[in-house]
């Protein structure tokens, strides 16, 4: 996934302003203006790395001349106790940037790690794990990037990335057929139209209406197998709703093409990463 660094720079300004406000009172009092320090970024548990280039950008926002030496790249599996980056520069600046940089990389690496667990569970089934829009406000781009570091794939990045006809859209339109027809008449020509279905009859209606993708929402495994057999590869099928690590394998084995999981971004814990004097 590509990251828009222009937007990242805008976010960094907001993050630093939130944490620092006027200045870092402790660093300004305790550390000489010209002091130089070297810090190591260490994994305190096994992690899948994500967000390292963003962390570097945070440190360099406060000390453009600092040296940031990364020993690994995003997506790497890092064992507990491993140093994966060293930063040398103005001590005041590095200490001021520390918490923002750590918060970000801990969050992103946590998402990457949980994603990798889900991906491993469905290995060999032919199904792909995809994310959702259940992300932290303001952090969607980075959280979806973290999903790709863990081996997952991205669903819509935002509401303008594709048309998803859910139950309320269908209710307003009057039927699946009417909703799909309206979408096809007005959408840009390369835009895909996905229809959310929770019953087999809706799957039939969505396919006949010309949906590009069909979401099987909160359907039982037996019902999904029936839908997979009937659709027979004519359009991709997505499984969604209540997917957990202990249930995803069975859902993947129904034959669906994609499984969307909100938990990988919504419920992922932050990992333990420290910044220690080198």
Active site residues: 99, 134, 166, 196, 217
What is the rounded CA–CA span in Å between residue 251 and residue 268?
21
Contact between residue 94 and residue 66 where contact means Cβ atoms under 8 Å apart: yes
What is the rounded CA–CA span in Å between residue 143 and residue 112?
9
Contact between residue 55 and residue 101 where contact means Cβ atoms under 8 Å apart: yes
> How far, in whole angstroms, is CA 41 from its chain's centroid?
22
Token pair 């590095």 in the structure block, residue: 94
What is the rounded CA–CA span in Å between residue 186 and residue 168?
19
> How far, in whole angstroms, is CA 148 from its chain's centroid?
7
Show the tokens assigned to 114.
């949980």
Contact between residue 278 and residue 89 where contact means Cβ atoms under 8 Å apart: no
Answer positive or negative: Cα dihedral of 266, 224, 222, 259. Answer: negative
Which residue, 78, 98, 81, is CA-closest to 37? 98
What is the rounded CA–CA span in Å between residue 37 and residue 225?
60
> Residues 110, 115, 118, CA angle at the centre, nearest 5°?
135
Which residue, 12, 99, 82, is CA-closest to 48? 82
Show the tokens assigned to 45.
């548990």
């Amino acid at each position: 996934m590509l990251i828009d660094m222009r937007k990242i720079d805008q976010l960094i300004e907001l993050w630093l302003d939130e944490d620092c406000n006027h200045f870092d009172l402790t660093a300004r009092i305790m550390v000489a203006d010209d002091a130089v320090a070297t810090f190591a970024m260490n994994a305190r548990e096994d992690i899948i790395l994500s967000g390292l280039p963003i962390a570097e950008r945070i440190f360099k926002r406060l000390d453009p001349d600092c040296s940031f030496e990364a020993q690994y790249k995003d997506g790497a599996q890092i064992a507990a106790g491993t140093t994966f980056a060293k930063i040398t520069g103005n001590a005041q600046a590095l200490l001021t940037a520390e918490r923002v940089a750590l918060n970000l990389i801990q969050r992103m690496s946590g998402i990457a790690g949980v994603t990798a667990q889900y991906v491993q569970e469905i290995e060999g089934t032919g199904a792909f794990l995809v994310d959702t829009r259940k992300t932290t406000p303001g952090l969607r781009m980075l959280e979806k990037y973290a999903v790709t570091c863990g081996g997952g794939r991205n669903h819509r990045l935002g509401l303008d990335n594709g048309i998803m006809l859910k139950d309320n859209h269908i209710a307003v339109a009057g039927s699946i057929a009417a909703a799909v027809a309206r979408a096809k008449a007005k959408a840009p020509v390369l835009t895909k139209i996905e229809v959310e279905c929770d019953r087999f009859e809706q799957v039939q209606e969505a396919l006949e209406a010309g949906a590009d993708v069909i979401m099987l929402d909160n359907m039982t495994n037996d019902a999904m197998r029936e839908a997979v057999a009937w659709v027979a590869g004519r359009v991709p099928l997505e499984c969604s709703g209540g997917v957990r690590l202990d249930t995803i394998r069975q859902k993947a084995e129904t034959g669906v093409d994609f499984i969307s999981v909100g938990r990988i971004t919504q419920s992922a814990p932050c990992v333990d990463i420290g910044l220690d004097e080198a």
